[in-house]
């Protein structure tokens, strides 16, 4: 509901005057200085004027003159203000009282003259602010003339005679009016809106009438005036709920009195975007937007949750695969089969089938892995692979092998702790009658491994062919024969 001001002139029937008030005394030479040339004044002590309005603020305007005195303003029978209307210099259309901090609702304002019977107080007009304080809201104004179908005249049309020949008709809105002097005759106006203004005329032949909105309270008003005043605001009602309403105007004068006329000219309705209507319409308008936003957020959350679940499972699968790969690499890789370091002459010439060397030096994967379960490259092999010998290899890192002994110097007895025993070689002729190598000792003084004392080696006559150092098969030593190609070439048997 927007904020709007309603101005009520002193001649409106909305202001109820007690006895002692004079309407626009034209004997006052300054009467034309009042708004519209009308004012209500009294010098009766305690004489009062009362207005009931719906709004949030109000202002009372009048004059301050040298013959004016004190006055009191009471709001809602509680707040009271005492002012003075005295001024050496006459001031017209000036503010006598205002209150701009009222809660939205129905309020009753009363202004009364002071106790000095020689002093006046007057009223020029009263303005009040209606609405809910939201000036940005829009309103729709609709004017309903008395000739429209919104007006129903009771008890019958005959009680409201035609005013076509009334010479005052041109002063009414659209030059039309309905008037009656029948007691209890009614005009019922149907309208929709949040506020309604009722306009008609006041005159010296008009009297008391009442106004009621729907089933609300009945307000009695006085349409009497010293002169004819058309299109006067007779009634205003704000704060109505949105929807259809009925305004009933009843002539309460008696038929025996001359001044018992009542007329109706037109009504104006205001339809606002009231708080309930705004909430309802706004909810309907915003429902699709809210639903769309909620649905979109819900779908997004579902996708995010699904993505997180997929990513988590994928990560777990990758981690599991990586762990299985590592486990297979570190724990499930079988050690290579031990091989014979060639050449064994019996194998080379085909006299004896090869057989694998049995060694207890092959560590298990767990042993080779150690506490940190990492596989060592120098573990898990029974003997060194031919051709893979590296002279730079650290002998101290090979637990099952000793440094290569020198073949150029021999010891006569196994006296040194750093001496290893040569393995028993196979005979190239397949015979097992070979000299014992249990007394063959090597020292660590030489790393060439090129000379062997001939007195201990078998003779050429026993072998039937020249003997080479590399023909005597494996020796448990770290270094390999110096010439792998020589050791592996095939030899023809003696012819």
* Per-residue pLDDT tens digits for 86-117: 999 999 999 999 999 999 999 999 999 999 99
Highest mean pLDDT (candidates 48-57, 359-368, 469-478):
48-57
Residue 3 is predicted with a pLDDT of 82
Choose the final residue of a domain: 113, 134, 155: 134
Query: Which pLDDT belongs to residue 249?
Result: 97
pLDDT at residue 440 greater than cutoff 60: no
Question: Quick one: 155 and 169 in the same domain?
Answer: yes
Report if residue 405 sits inside a domain.
yes
User: Is 344 found in the same domain as 476?
Assistant: yes
Q: Is the pLDDT of residue 417 over 80?
A: no
**CATH number of the domain within which 14 lies:** 2.60.120.260
Q: How far is CA 481 from CA 219, 377, 463, 471, in A?
A: 133, 22, 20, 10
Residue 58 phi, psi (nearest 5) = -155, 155
State whether the Cα torsion 303-307-310-313 is positive or negative: negative
* pLDDT for 264: 96
- Domain check: are 457 and 340 in the same one? yes
Q: Tokens 């309208």 identify what position?
A: 191
Give the end of a domain, one of 258, 276, 294: 276
Q: How far apart are CA 389 and CA 381, in angstroms?
A: 13
Domain contains 37: yes
Q: Is the pLDDT of residue 427 over 80?
A: no
Among 141-150, 258-267, 366-375, the minimum mean pLDDT is found in 366-375
DSSP 31: G
Question: Are 84 and 10 within one domain?
Answer: yes
The shares of helix, strand and coil residues in the chain, as percent rounded to the nearest 5, are 20, 30, 50
Q: Are residues 149 and 263 in the same domain?
A: yes
The pLDDT of residue 273 is above 80: no
Domain span at 12? 1-134
Domain boundary among 245, 260, 276: 276
Tell me the average pLDDT of the chain. 75
Alpha carbons 140 and 3: distance in angstroms, whole number: 13
Residue 363 clears pLDDT 50, i.e. is over it: no
Tally of CB atoms within 10 A around 448: 11
Residue 83 in any domain: the answer is yes
Residue 115 lies in a domain: yes
Q: Which residue has the higher pLDDT, 280 or 97?
A: 97
Separation CA 11–CA 305 (nearest Å): 74
- At residue 275, φ and ψ (nearest 5 deg) are -50, -45
In a domain, 324, yes or no: no
| Residue 343, helix vs strand vs coil | coil
Q: Is the pLDDT of residue 274 over 50?
A: no
pLDDT at 300: 86
Name which of 37, 17, 42 is nearest 229 in CA terms: 37
Closest residue by Cα to residue 130 from 77, 51, 200? 51
Comparing 187-196, 250-259, 343-352, 383-392, the range with the smallest average pLDDT is 383-392
Q: Does any domain span residue 269?
A: yes
pLDDT at 271: 87
C-alpha separations of 493 from 333, 344, 429, 463 in Å: 42, 14, 10, 11
pLDDT of residue 172: 96
Are 217 and 147 within one domain? yes
The answer, yes or no, to whether residue 451 has pLDDT greater than 60, is no
Instruction: Pick left, alpha or beta for residue 338 (phi over 0 → left; psi -120 to 50 → alpha; otherwise beta).
Output: beta
Shared-domain flag, residues 339 and 266 = no
User: Considering the chain, what percentage of its residues have pLDDT values greater than 70?
Assistant: 58
DSSP-derived 3-state class of residue 337: coil
Look at residue 217 in the predicted model and tell me its pLDDT: 94
Same domain, 223 and 237: yes
List the single range of 89-103, 172-186, 308-322 with lowest mean pLDDT: 308-322
Regarding whether 439 and 346 lie in a shared domain, the answer is yes
pLDDT digits (tens, 9 = 90+) for 111-143: 999 999 999 999 999 999 997 666 677 788 999
Query: pLDDT class for 398, splitting at 50, 70, 90?
Result: very low
Q: Which two tokens stand for residue 245?
A: 């309403």
- Give residues with Cβ within 8 angstroms of 258, minimum separation 6: 205
The residue-averaged pLDDT of 261-288 equals 68
CA-angle at 38, arms to 32 and 44, nearest 5°: 110
**Selection from 165-174, 304-313, 335-344 with the highest mean pLDDT:** 165-174
Taking only the tens place, the pLDDT of each residue in 224-245 is 999 999 999 999 999 899 899 9
Has residue 314 been placed in a domain? Answer: no
CB 376, CB 370: distance < 8 Å: yes
Residue 399 has pLDDT above 50, yes or no: no
DSSP state of 45: T
**Tens digits of residue pLDDT in 245-257:** 999 999 997 655 5
Q: How far, CA to CA in Å, does 329 sit from each of 318, 321, 368, 377?
A: 16, 12, 13, 13
Q: Are residues 426 and 369 in the same domain?
A: yes
Residue 181 has pLDDT above 70, yes or no: yes
| Cα gap 359→342, rounded to integer Å | 16
Assigned domain for 7 exists = yes
Q: How far apart are CA 36 and CA 40, in angstroms?
A: 12
> Both 128 and 203 in a single domain?
no
User: Terminal CA-to-CA distance of the chain, rounded, Å?
Assistant: 130
User: How many domains does the chain contain in total?
Assistant: 3
Spacing of C-alpha 373 from chain mean position: 53
Query: To which residue do tokens 């006559």 refer?
Result: 461
Most confident region among 87-91, 253-257, 269-273, 351-355 by mean pLDDT = 87-91
Is it the case that residue 199 has pLDDT exceeding 80? Answer: yes
Which 3 state secondary structure label does DSSP give 316? helix
pLDDT score, position 356: 59
Claim to verify: residue 96 and residue 120 sit in the same structural domain = yes
């Amino acid at each position: 509901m927007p904020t709007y001001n309603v101005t009520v002139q002193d001649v409106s029937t909305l202001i109820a005057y007690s006895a002692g008030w004079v309407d626009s005394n034209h004997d006052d030479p300054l009467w034309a200085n009042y708004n519209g040339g009308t004012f209500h004044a009294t010098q009766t002590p305690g004489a009062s004027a009362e207005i009931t309005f719906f709004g949030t603020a109000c202002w009372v305007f009048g004059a301050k003159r040298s013959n004016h005195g004190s006055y009191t303003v009471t709001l809602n029978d509680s707040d009271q203000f005492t002012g003075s209307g005295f001024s050496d210099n006459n001031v017209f259309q000036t503010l006598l009282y205002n209150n701009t901090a009222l809660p939205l609702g129905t309020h009753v304002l009363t202004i009364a003259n002071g106790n000095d019977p020689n002093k006046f107080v007057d009223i020029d007009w009263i303005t009040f602010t209606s609405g809910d304080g939201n000036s940005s809201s829009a309103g729709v104004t609709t004017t309903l003339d008395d000739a429209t179908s919104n007006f129903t005249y009771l008890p019958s049309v005959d009680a409201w005679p035609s005013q076509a020949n009334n010479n005052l008709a041109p002063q009414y809105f659209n030059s039309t009016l309905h008037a009656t002097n029948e007691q209890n005759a009614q005009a019922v106006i149907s309208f929709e809106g949040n506020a309604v203004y009722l306009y008609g005329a006041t005159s010296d032949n008009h009297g008391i009438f009442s106004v009621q909105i729907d089933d609300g309270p009945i307000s009695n008003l006085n349409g009497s005036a010293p002169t004819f005043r058309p299109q006067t605001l007779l009634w205003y009602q704000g704060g109505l709920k949105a929807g259809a309403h009925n305004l009933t105007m009843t002539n309460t004068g008696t038929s025996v009195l001359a001044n018992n006329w009542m007329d109706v000219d037109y009504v104006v309705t205001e339809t606002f975007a009231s708080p309930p209507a705004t909430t309802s319409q706004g909810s309907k308008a915003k429902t699709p937007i809210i639903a769309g936003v909620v649905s979109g957020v819900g779908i997004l959350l579902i996708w995010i949750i699904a993505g997180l679940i997929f990513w988590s499972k994928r990560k777990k699968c990758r981690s599991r695969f990586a762990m299985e790969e590592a486990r297979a690499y570190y724990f499930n890789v079988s050690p290579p089969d031990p091989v014979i370091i060639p050449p064994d002459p019996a194998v080379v010439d085909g006299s004896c089938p090869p057989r694998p060397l049995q060694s207890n030096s092959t560590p298990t994967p767990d042993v080779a892995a150690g506490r940190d379960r990492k596989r060592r490259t120098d573990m898990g092999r029974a003997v060194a692979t031919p051709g893979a010998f590296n002279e730079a290899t650290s002998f101290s890192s090979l637990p099952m092998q000793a440094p290569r002994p020198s073949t150029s110097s021999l010891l006569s007895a196994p006296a040194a702790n750093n001496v290893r025993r040569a393995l028993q070689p196979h005979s190239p002729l397949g015979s097992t009658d070979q000299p014992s190598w249990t007394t063959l000792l090597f020292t660590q003084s030489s790393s060439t491994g090129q000379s062997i004392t001939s007195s201990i080696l078998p003779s050429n006559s026993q072998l039937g062919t020249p003997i080479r150092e590399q023909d005597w098969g494996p020796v448990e030593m770290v270094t390999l024969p110096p010439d792998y190609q020589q050791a592996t070439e095939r030899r023809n048997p003696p012819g």
